[in-house]
Structure 1
């Protein structure tokens, strides 16, 4: 497979704008992931959004988007970086979809066992 993928790391939030800690977390996660993905030649961070879930406007999330080349290696790297850097690894969901295609994200990792669905 020669294609790229979109990867999203999602953190639950308590409000649409997040707290000061949520903003700090966003900045650190983006910094660490961009550096790690770039050094490993696997991709880069492509932005973020914070706010309501599209599927449930009563819930809020921080989504950090990346463009990656190797799905399995990139997911493993993201998990390791967040765990080793103590960036709230126990609260994340990771999902991917093929780059350039208008599909839905597929959940690849969840901090909660038994979770099978993912939405932005």
Structure 2
């Protein structure tokens, strides 16, 4: 497994822990369907949350959240709807959140959490 893949997986674990620490229930990780993948599917007091996780080891390529553009956000909103349909809950309230993690080796990681992100 490459460095970026390991970093991404570590970021998803940290993001799931971050959400659970805030009382948000993680339903699935890396949920896939024909139109794409949701990093974390969660439930926040009855609201379905599709969470995109971006992790970087520094700011050399910009803040991780900057990698989530309007095209990605539109896809995530479609994916959240697809998850709800697949779960038999097509009318369920849903939102897209972004968690950006900066994980510098040998230092504490920094987490930025953006709720209800729209394109």
Q: What TM-score bracket applies, with the shorter chain setting the length?
A: 0.3 to 0.5
Which structure has more RCO (C-alpha within 8 Å, separation ≥ 6)? 1
TM-score scaled by structure 2?
A: 0.40
